[in-house]
């Protein structure tokens, strides 16, 4: 059973009479509980792919099955509920509410869904991301790394089957990025949600178990990382060659 399955995704944009073919038939699957990454050069279609996988943008053709549900034909309301309950999304810009505390930001998805987080879940999440001591800190007083670890705790809050992360370390320095990757690995192991991490950085992608390589809107192949950044870098360059 897959947490996420994409089949033959095609997406073009039409701008000022021109057509940009961004995705030209992308298929990939992330098994339940797995930690995968997508690497690809800038402009290869990574963010477009993530938007399609999250149901934020419809494909021209092809199919996405998320948490066992085909996205095609779901109403906007059903998509919103699925995104809130079954998938956690993290962007480069962590999108925290600056005046709310760390704890309030992490609990927000539950609040939006009209309930409280189960007892103990907030404490467990804060512990896993190393922010127990910052729980009452307003989000606008966090370091970049702390803010992004708050965002990832929030993404896990609703016990999603899969986390989608688009260049989440893009604004972090390398120690903070390494810390973020270690946190992702810890959450994946402890909570069992699958992760699809988009990054062009071999150091970051090496946190995943498997990397899919995207270029010019096509998946060129996939390889196992063995958590070795040098090997990831070499395999990535080989795939692009």
Ligand X SMILES: Nc1ncnc2c1ncn2[C@@H]1O[C@H](COP(=O)(O)OP(=O)(O)O)[C@@H](O)[C@H]1O
Q: Give the footprint of ligand X on this chain (CB under 6 A).
A: 13, 15, 20, 22, 40, 42-48
Minimum gap (Å) between residue 6 Cβ and ligand X: 14
Identify which of 54, 55, 40, 67 has the alpha carbon closest to the alpha carbon of residue 212: 40
46 versus 83: smaller Cβ distance to Mg ion: 46
158 versus 198: smaller Cβ distance to ligand X: 198
Residues of 4-31 as b/e, b for ≥16 C-beta within 10 angstroms?
bbbbebbbbeeeeeeeeebbeebebebe
Q: How far apart are CA 2 and CA 34, in angstroms?
A: 9
Given ligand X, Mg ion, none, residue 40, with its beta carbon under 5 to 8 Å by kind, binds ligand X
Given Mg ion, ligand X, none, residue 5, with its beta carbon under 5 to 8 Å by kind, binds none
Minimum gap (Å) between residue 13 Cβ and ligand X: 3
Minimum gap (Å) between residue 76 Cβ and ligand X: 18
31 versus 170: smaller Cβ distance to ligand X: 170
Given Mg ion, ligand X, none, residue 44, with its beta carbon under 5 to 8 Å by kind, binds ligand X
Minimum gap (Å) between residue 219 Cβ and ligand X: 13
Catalog residues that contact Mg ion under the rule CB under 5 A. 46-47
Identify which of 166, 167, 136 has the alpha carbon closest to the alpha carbon of residue 150: 136
Q: How far apart are CA 40 and CA 185, in angstroms?
A: 21
Is residue 143 a contact partner of residue 172, using CB atoms and an 8 Å limit? no
Given Mg ion, ligand X, none, residue 183, with its beta carbon under 5 to 8 Å by kind, binds none
């Amino acid at each position: 059973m897959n947490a996420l399955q994409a089949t033959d995704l095609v997406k073009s944009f039409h701008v000022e009479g021109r057509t940009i073919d961004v995705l030209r038939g992308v298929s990939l699957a992330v098994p339940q509980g797995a930690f995968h990454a997508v690497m690809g050069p800038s402009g290869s279609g990574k963010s477009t792919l993530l938007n399609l996988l999250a149901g934020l943008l419809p494909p021209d053709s092809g199919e996405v099955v998320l948490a066992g549900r085909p996205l095609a034909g779901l109403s906007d309301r059903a998509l919103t509920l699925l995104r809130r309950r079954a998938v956690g999304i993290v962007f480069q810009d962590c999108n925290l509410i600056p005046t709310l505390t760390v704890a309030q930001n992490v609990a927000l998805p539950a609040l939006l869904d009209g309930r409280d987080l189960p007892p103990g879940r907030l404490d467990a999440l804060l512990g896993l991301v190393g922010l127990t001591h910052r729980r009452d800190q307003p989000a606008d007083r966090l370091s970049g790394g702390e803010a992004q670890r708050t965002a990832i705790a929030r993404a896990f809050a609703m016990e999603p089957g899969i986390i989608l992360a688009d260049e989440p370390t893009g604004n972090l320095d390398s120690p903070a990025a390494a810390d973020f990757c270690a946190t992702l690995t810890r959450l994946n192991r402890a909570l069992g949600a699958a992760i699809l991490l988009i990054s062009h950085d071999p150091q970051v992608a090496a946190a995943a178990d498997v990397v899919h390589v995207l270029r010019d809107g096509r998946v060129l192949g996939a390889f196992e990382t063995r958590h070795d950044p040098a090997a990831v870098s070499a395999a990535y360059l080989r795939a692009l060659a």
